[in-house]
């Protein structure tokens, strides 16, 4: 009978790395001994010593590649790479119940592993790593989900490997899912983060805590709380009331100065102030650590790309003209693999570039083409894939959390004729998200870290704030065109009330 294994924290070690004893005490649940350039006698000795240690703490031991060593020490299992012995032959040689895992980097390799009947797969490399020379492309965290999809309706377990650290462990767990059925990783495989740490016990304990907390948290599709059960009136009422939270809490909203499109940074700052929040503009990477401790929200806008190093965390991500150049496309891919946005906001051309649709394209910052035949499905699919709220802007706006879709028909025609209206919208959404996060009940649990309030409603609130304010501004008798519209819009944001939002909202829920 195959031994049941908890794959939560899978440690890969060897002779050039620290012994796994302290790491096991810290929470490691399975150990693999990996050696490549070593003679059999020395490998056998290392494997025997590691087995004694693993047996002491009742932790399963996996041997990489060497079936002879696994047989000699009665290891719990073996891990076979794509160029190692075929799994079918390994099954014939190994005792019944021996665990067999394999490394995969593509959907095709995962399908073969499934057909071969492996017990688990190691998916990677997720990020670049210095512990092993890579022979296959780096997947990025967003490349793991399609591979997990292959394991749907099977008992095959899966761990992610390659560049896993404390700082990106949660990103890997939250971002690497099979979109159709929300299949999650069963664990994370680590190498240098633990064995090269001066404090392996503490590092393993912290990783173990992150993984256990994530697994214990019954995560909704993405960020919203039972949104499908809410009525339109409930959505709008909650969105409107968030304006009160904005003004009561006055959250500090970080807008990266050179990245939040320098062309309209003043307008974005003024919109933030008009709502009752406080903007701060900085693109210095040296300030990011300190700022992250005091800000309520972060807006990233790639209107002008100058400093990617400081774009590691986000609340609202605005991929301006992402489809216009190869540089913007590659930068966006890099960013989305590094951080977990709360909201992605874009026009049809930008969202089309993210989902790979040809229905809408970008020409500079503008969207061209007929638009999406089914925008509701586009935003729902992208939200599921990216594990965040998606806001598709246009004559009609669409919001989704991967489950419910909200259709919004507010706004004034002048909005599309002034520079920076999209950036101002990003500012409004970030401000409302910050207020939702800060007004959530204090907690140290993972729900605050990942959710921090209902971000679907916060996104709706930010959208309605700007679009309703634009209607109010456009109705003023002194507004004769776009030149007089912009200052009137700032005034309307300043005087906006929750009642105006709820009374004017043109919202429809699409399930």
Higher-confidence position of 370 and 402: 402
* CA proximity to 509, closest of 308, 172, 224: 224
Determine the Cα–Cα distance for residues 16 and 20; give it in Å rounded to an integer: 12
Cβ-contact 292, 315 below 8 angstroms? no
Which pLDDT belongs to residue 437?
A: 81
Determine the Cα–Cα distance for residues 15 and 276; give it in Å rounded to an integer: 59
Determine the Cα–Cα distance for residues 412 and 503; give it in Å rounded to an integer: 16
Q: Is the pLDDT of residue 306 over 90?
A: no
Q: Are residues 126 and 260 in the same domain?
A: no
Q: Is residue 222 part of a domain?
A: no
pLDDT-based confidence at residue 18 (cuts at 50, 70, 90) = low
Which pLDDT belongs to residue 229?
A: 57
pLDDT-based confidence at residue 317 (cuts at 50, 70, 90) = confident
What residues does 161 pair with on adjacent strands?
A: 124, 189
Q: Is residue 365 part of a domain?
A: yes
Which pLDDT belongs to residue 314?
A: 38
Tokens read off for 192 = 């240098």
Q: Are residues 210 and 258 in the same domain?
A: no
Q: Are residues 47 and 66 in the same domain?
A: yes
Q: Are residues 317 and 464 in the same domain?
A: yes
* CA proximity to 126, closest of 108, 105, 141, 145: 141
Q: Are residues 263 and 173 in the same domain?
A: no
Determine the Cα–Cα distance for residues 434 and 465; give it in Å rounded to an integer: 14
Q: Are residues 236 and 163 in the same domain?
A: no
* Active-site entry in 310, 388, 423, 433: 423
Which residues, 6+ apart, have CB-to-CB distance to 231 below 8 Å?
509
Cβ-contact 11, 32 below 8 angstroms? yes
pLDDT-based confidence at residue 87 (cuts at 50, 70, 90) = very high
Q: Is the pLDDT of residue 93 over 80?
A: yes
- 3 state DSSP class of 63: strand
Measured in whole angstroms, the distance separating CA 183 from the mean position of its chain's CA atoms is 15
Q: What is the mean pLDDT of the chain?
A: 83
Q: Is residue 325 part of a domain?
A: yes
Q: Is the pLDDT of residue 448 over 60?
A: no
Determine the Cα–Cα distance for residues 209 and 414; give it in Å rounded to an integer: 51
Q: Is residue 188 part of a domain?
A: yes
Q: What is the CA radius of gyration of the chain?
A: 25
Total domain count, the chain: 2
pLDDT-based confidence at residue 204 (cuts at 50, 70, 90) = very high
Which pLDDT belongs to residue 54?
A: 93
Neighbour-count burial of 406, counting CB atoms closer than 10 A to its CB (0-12 exposed, 13-18 middle, 19+ buried): buried
Q: Is residue 2 part of a domain?
A: no
Q: What is the CATH number of the domain that holds 334?
A: 3.40.1190.20
Q: Among 33-42, 139-148, 219-228, 401-410, which is the least confidently predicted range?
A: 219-228
Which tens digit of pLDDT belongs to each residue from 384-436?
888 889 999 999 999 998 888 999 999 999 998 998 888 899 999 999 988 88
Which pLDDT belongs to residue 305?
A: 42
Q: Among 138-147, 170-179, 463-472, which is the least confidently predicted range?
A: 170-179
pLDDT-based confidence at residue 310 (cuts at 50, 70, 90) = very low
Q: Is the pLDDT of residue 35 over 90?
A: no
Neighbour-count burial of 157, counting CB atoms closer than 10 A to its CB (0-12 exposed, 13-18 middle, 19+ buried): buried
* CA proximity to 346, closest of 300, 295, 311: 300
| Mean pLDDT score, 30-43 | 91
Q: Are residues 308 and 377 in the same domain?
A: yes
Determine the Cα–Cα distance for residues 467 and 351; give it in Å rounded to an integer: 20
The per-type count for the chain, helices as H runs and strands as E runs, is 20, 21
Measured in whole angstroms, the distance separating CA 364 from the mean position of its chain's CA atoms is 27
Question: Which of 165, 186, 216 is the last residue before a domain boundary?
Answer: 216
Cβ-contact 107, 150 below 8 angstroms? yes
Q: Is residue 373 part of a domain?
A: yes
| pLDDT above 70: percentage of residues in the chain | 80
Cβ-contact 63, 70 below 8 angstroms? yes
* CA proximity to 488, closest of 465, 499, 472, 504: 472
Q: Is residue 328 part of a domain?
A: yes
* CA proximity to 10, closest of 51, 49, 59: 59
Q: Is the pLDDT of residue 366 over 80?
A: no
pTM given for the model: 0.80
Q: What is the CATH number of the domain that holds 27?
A: 3.20.20.70
Cβ-contact 400, 390 below 8 angstroms? yes
Question: Which of 216, 245, 270 is the last residue before a domain boundary?
Answer: 216
Which residues, 6+ apart, have CB-to-CB distance to 39 below 8 Å?
none
Q: Are residues 195 and 258 in the same domain?
A: no
Cβ-contact 172, 141 below 8 angstroms? yes
Q: Is the pLDDT of residue 369 over 60?
A: no
Q: Is the pLDDT of residue 364 over 60?
A: no
Q: Is residue 93 part of a domain?
A: yes
Question: Is 428 annotated as catalytic?
Answer: no
Question: Which of 216, 239, 258 is the last residue before a domain boundary?
Answer: 216
Which pLDDT belongs to residue 208?
A: 96
What residues does 10 pair with on adjacent strands?
A: 30, 189
Q: Are residues 474 and 335 in the same domain?
A: yes
Q: Are residues 184 and 317 in the same domain?
A: no
Determine the Cα–Cα distance for residues 509 and 374; give it in Å rounded to an integer: 15
Q: Are residues 207 and 347 in the same domain?
A: no
Domain range for 48 is 9-216
Tokens read off for 272 = 């933030």
- The CB density around residue 334, as the number of other CB atoms within 10 Å, is 13
| pLDDT above 90: percentage of residues in the chain | 51
Q: Is the pLDDT of residue 449 over 50?
A: no
pLDDT-based confidence at residue 62 (cuts at 50, 70, 90) = very high
Q: Are residues 307 and 447 in the same domain?
A: yes
| Mean pLDDT score, 120-130 | 89
Determine the Cα–Cα distance for residues 315 and 341; give it in Å rounded to an integer: 5
Which tens digit of pLDDT belongs to each residue from 4-13?
899 999 999 8
Tokens read off for 18 = 């620290």
């Amino acid at each position: 009978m195959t031994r049941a294994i908890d794959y939560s924290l899978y440690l890969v070690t060897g002779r050039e790395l620290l012994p796994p004893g302290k790491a096991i005490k810290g929470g490691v649940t399975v150990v693999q001994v990996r050696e490549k350039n070593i003679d059999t006698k020395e490998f056998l000795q290392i494997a025997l010593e590691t087995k004694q240690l693993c047996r002491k703490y009742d932790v399963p031991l996996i041997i990489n590649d060497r079936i002879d060593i696994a047989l000699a020490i009665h290891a719990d299992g073996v891990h076979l790479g794509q160029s190692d012995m075929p799994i079918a032959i390994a099954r014939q040689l190994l005792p019944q119940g021996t665990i067999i895992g394999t490394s995969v980097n593509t959907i095709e390799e995962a399908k073969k592993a499934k057909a071969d009947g492996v017990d688990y797969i190691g998916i990677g490399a997720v990020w670049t790593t210095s512990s092993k020379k890579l022979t296959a492309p780096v997947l990025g965290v967003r490349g793991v989900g399609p591979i997990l999809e292959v394991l749907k309706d099977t008992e095959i377990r899966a761990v992610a490997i390659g560049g896993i650290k404390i700082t990106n462990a949660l990103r890997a767990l939250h971002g690497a899912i099979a979109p159709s059925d929300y299949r999650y990783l069963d664990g994370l495989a680590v190498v240098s983060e633990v064995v090269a740490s001066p404090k392996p016990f503490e590092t393993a304990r912290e990783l173990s805590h992150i993984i256990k907390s994530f697994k214990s948290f019954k995560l909704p599709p993405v960020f919203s709380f039972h949104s499908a059960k809410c009525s339109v009136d409930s959505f709008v009422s909650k969105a409107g009331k968030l304006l009160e939270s904005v003004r009561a809490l006055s959250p500090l909203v970080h807008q990266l100065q050179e990245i939040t499109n320098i062309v309209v940074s003043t307008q974005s700052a003024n919109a933030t102030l008009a709502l009752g929040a406080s903007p701060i503009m900085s693109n210095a990477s040296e300030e990011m650590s300190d700022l992250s401790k005091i800000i309520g929200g972060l807006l990233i806008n790639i209107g002008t790309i100058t400093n990617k190093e400081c774009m590691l965390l986000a609340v609202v991500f605005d991929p301006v003209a992402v489809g216009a150049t190869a540089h913007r496309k590659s930068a966006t891919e890099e960013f989305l693999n590094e951080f977990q946005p709360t909201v992605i906001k874009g026009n049809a051309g930008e969202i089309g570039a993210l989902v790979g649709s040809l229905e809408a394209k970008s020409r500079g910052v503008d969207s061209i083409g007929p638009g999406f035949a089914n925008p509701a499905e586009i935003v729902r699919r992208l939200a599921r894939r990216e594990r965040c709220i998606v806001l598709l802007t246009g004559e009609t706006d669409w919001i989704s959390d991967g489950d419910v879709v909200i259709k919004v028909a507010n706004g004034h025609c002048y909005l599309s004729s002034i520079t920076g209206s999209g950036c101002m919208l990003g500012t409004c959404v970030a401000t409302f998200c910050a207020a939702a996060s800060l007004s959530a009940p204090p907690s140290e649990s993972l729900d605050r870290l990942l959710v921090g309030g209902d971000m679907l409603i916060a996104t709706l609130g930010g959208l309605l704030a700007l679009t309703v304010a634009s209607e109010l501004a456009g109705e003023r008798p002194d507004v004769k065109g776009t030149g007089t519209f912009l200052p009137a819009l700032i005034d309307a944001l300043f005087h906006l009330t929750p009642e105006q939002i709820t009374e004017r909202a043109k919202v429809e829920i699409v399930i």
